[in-house]
Structure 1
Amino acid sequence: MYAIPLTEDAELRMLEPWQDAEFLAHIDRARANTDPWIPWASRSTDLESARTTLQKFADKQAADAGRIYGIWRDGTLIGGVMFVRFDAEAGTCEIGVWAEPAGEGHGLISASVRHLIAYAFGERGIHRVEWWNSAGNTRSRAVAQRMGMHLDGTLREQSLYKGVRHDMEIWSLLAHEWKGAPNAA
């Protein structure tokens, strides 16, 4: 219900707290991809913590401050996209993504990000979409580049995660730079 088709066999839809078991199983399959980069994923280790993660995004959605979406392929949750931050008043938001190995290489992350960008610019009047990634996360950087984002800069040793300081790249796309359609860029 309320799904956005991405391909003939894949769709994008909301992820909600009641889907905690499915989300946890997916995150367990995605750990090798997510643990090096995504703090909330490494904290989703049992049903309670998975539900807490999803509830935090449900609360953000209720406050119009963020959202989380899953990507299902052939009925299996294989990745997702989110508005990490969403501030309509300031006209800015941040998009993030993740995937398990089965979700890679099919263009589903890029297609989903295009939908979020189109929604932010087209429906919500957002002026600036941001993308933050660890400088070592080349897959994440590649998505930002595919979307036509510009590298604003690198915050050296900005993020402490698992005892290691990470340089964080900040990418952005402004409303007037967007091509205007989900399949653009």
Structure 2
Amino acid sequence: FKTVTHLPPFMGMMLSLGIMWVVTDLLHRRKTAETRSEFGVLGVIRRIDTPSVLFFLGILLAVASLQTAGQLRDLAGVLDTSIGTTTEPGIYLVGGIIGLLSAIVDNVPLVAAAMGMYDMVPGTFFAQDDFFWKYLAFTAGTGGSVLIIGSAAGVAVMGLERIPFGWYLKRISFLALLGYFAGIAVYAIQRWIIFG
């Protein structure tokens, strides 16, 4: 969508939602009012978690604002000068830091922010589908489990199952952190075995 229209991906999601709304209303227009209200888009919207959807739309909008203002590029510059992202150890460190940040901030905005921080330049660690992006997907997804608030799923489970933040912090966070670092070690070993 972005390649063709040059619009942000969330605009494509909203367009898809609008198209689904029209198609669903056309499919159910001759049915009873009860069926239309149950299977129509309004009935579905009543059952979805609208605050979560608005949360993600807001986060993506905020990340796009930071990218447009140049803040993400500045952050990438700071990481490049202080840590160095031209070497593999530097990439491991930057990805690991971003992964640990996903325990505090949801992984979706962090990955979106990282996409705004680094250009996908061929021949570098940041080339499309290259090392950094695969590693970032792992660290951001796994690092969110260190704290229960690190992912939307964790927040949802916290509300549904009444899991207190302190209980998770005492009993699960350390194990999740060990798993996070063990996963990074396995990732590094696999990369070393495959690419030398």
Establish whether TM, by shorter chain, passes 0.5.
no
Structure of greater relative contact order (alpha carbons < 8 Å, 6+ residues apart): 1
TM-score normalised over the length of structure 1: 0.30
Kindly indicate which of the two structures has a greater share of residues assigned to strand.
Answer: 1
Q: Max radius of gyration: which structure?
A: 2
Q: TM-score, normalised by structure 2?
A: 0.29
Q: Which has the higher helix share?
A: 2
